[in-house]
Amino acid sequence: MRKTTLNRKTNETDIAISLNLDGNREITIDTGIGFLDHMLTLFAFHGNFDLTLTCKGDLVTDDHHTVEDIGLALGEAIFDALDRTKGLKRYSAVYLPMDESLVRAVIDISGRSHLSFRAAFTRENLGALATENIKEFFSALAKKAGITIHIDLLHGDNDHHKAEAIFKGFANALKEAIIIQSDDVTSTKGVL
């Protein structure tokens, strides 16, 4: 089983995560931001992951520290849970619709962190989540997970649908990229 448990505590947030990449969709999320809870639940469900995540953040300030720190912690958990000595599929490209919205999520579990995020929102907030922090979440996650992530919103009108397509698309891309297909490392370098 590829799983990990970690805690991340700063002056701004206190986060506890338990992640099983080979799970059964056992999901408990409490971030203090209802819309983010919804997106992380979708992520775990569509990735077939077990995810328990709690966060106490300085939401009196705003949601930025909480969202970014959850991205950092989840990225670290993904990094810790992955066995990079086996032949991961490594690459994945997924197109995912959510009603009128369409997202392309492409990832490479390369050990190199990069985010290309092309998505625009018309609303400033979705519930208590600032839409600008969706990009911050994925940037932080990519940084700590050592994953190259490209997210492109190709179509969409409803911001809720756009966000949902992004999180579901990423989950499906990650689920596909972490498939173990051999005992060989998927790199000519011999390491990821």
Residues 109-118 pLDDT 10s: 999 999 999 9
192 within domain boundaries: no
- Of 168, 170, 112, give the one whose Cα is nearest residue 145: 112
pTM exceeds 0.75, yes or no: yes
99 within domain boundaries: yes
pLDDT at 131 over 70: yes
52 within domain boundaries: yes
Output the pLDDT for position 83. Answer: 80
Unique residue bearing structure tokens 């919804």: 38
pLDDT at 10 over 70: yes
Report CA Rg, the chain: 16
135 within domain boundaries: yes
Estimate the crossing angle of helix 64-81 against helix 132-145, to 10 degrees. Answer: 30
Amino acid identity of residue 163, one-letter, is A
Helices marked H in the chain — which ranges? 34-47, 64-81, 132-145, 159-177
CA dihedral over 75, 173, 123, 117, signed as positive or negative:
positive
Rounded to an integer, what distance in angstroms lies between the CA atom of residue 156 and that of residue 168? Answer: 15
Q: Tell me how many domains the chain contains.
A: 1
Give the chain's mean pLDDT: 94
pLDDT at 34 over 70: yes
Residue 182 confidence class, pLDDT cut points 50, 70, 90 = confident
Output the pLDDT for position 174. Answer: 98
Output the pLDDT for position 29. Answer: 98
147 within domain boundaries: yes
Helices marked H in 9-158 — which ranges? 34-47, 64-81, 132-145
Q: Which helix (H) or strand (E) holds 182?
A: strand 180-182
191 within domain boundaries: no
Rounded to an integer, what distance in angstroms lies between the CA atom of residue 173 and that of residue 182? Answer: 19
187 within domain boundaries: no
CATH number for the domain including 152? 3.30.230.40
- The boundaries of the domain holding residue 91 are 3-182
